[in-house]
Amino acid sequence: MDDLQGKVAVITGAASGIGRGMAEAFADAGMRVVLSDLEVDALHATTAELRNAGADVHAVVADVSAPDDVTGLAEATLEKYGAVHVLCNNAGIYSGGRPSWDSTLDDWEWILGVNLMGVVHGHSIFLPIMIEQGEEAHIVNTASIAALLGGSSLYGATKAAVVALSETIHHELVGGGFKPRISVLCPGVVATNIFDAERNRPTRFPEAGPRPDGWDIDAARKEFALGTSPRAIGEQVVQAIHEERFYVLTHPEWKGHIEHRMKQILNGDNPTQLPPPTM
């Protein structure tokens, strides 16, 4: 997509983190943006801040794990702006720990509902609309560098599924001659509150598994606080949409780790992991 001016973007998980970073970058590109999240207060606060800065934004509360909510999000978008040109399936959570068998079925159902089925719902509800419009359009699915490395238990499993699904949809769109294009965003360490996802855990999934032995969540929060700014990620997403680039790898320091894993697959070697790169 060459020109984003006046185009309409929908972002899930937009109240904070990468979602908010994308909203800021899209607004600066002249887009009209629908912000969606299930955190009502945070969503309205972010919407007000962006609007006060001059952005044309609209807020819709939605839980992406509920297809009716995503349908409502699409209807609200069309009612407000009349079209949708960019969809960012960004809402995501971190749940579960290692060893993976200590994670509960509630952990699995919660994270699958948001990280994977949220993306599925976005595609199934929005993509037919985007195709029917007959205009240039783009989908951005937020996965993670963890999807390309392995060894990240529940979170990595859901994000790897997002990559596989995105690749399939890319082939379907290109092979079918449809105008929409798709990207998969695989960020590394970004300054978000990903480790505080439990604040939004539904009451229907009460049983949480233990955290890994020796894992210091406060240290993890501090490490991520020093990560790349969400706004910088948003700007990389804008560039990827312009270029119609499928893989959006925001942290090049991880490329050697991806290569290590790919070589093991091709050689039929048992998997091993490299230490993380220094920040």
Catalytic residue annotation = 155
Answer whether the bond into residue 99 is a cis peptide, omega within 30°. Answer: yes
Q: What is the spatial distance between Cα 120 and Cα 91, in angstroms, rounded to a whole number?
A: 12
Phi, psi of 152, deg, nearest 5: -120, 25
Residue type, position 217, single letter: I
Q: Alpha-carbon dihedral of residues 36, 38, 42, 48, nearest 10 degrees?
A: 30
Number of helices (H) and strands (E) in the chain: give both, helices first.
Answer: 9, 7
The neighbouring-strand residues paired with 188 are: none
What are the φ/ψ torsions at residue 114 (nearest 5 degrees)?
-90, -60
What's the distance, CA 248 to chain centroid? 12
The two structure tokens encoding residue 273:
């992991």
Give CA separation, 173 vs 83, 123, 139, 143, 166, in Å: 19, 12, 11, 19, 10
> From its phi and psi, is residue 82 left (phi > 0), alpha (psi between -120 and 50) or beta?
left
46: tokens are 């972010």
263 contact partners, CB below 8 Å, separation of at least 6 = 269
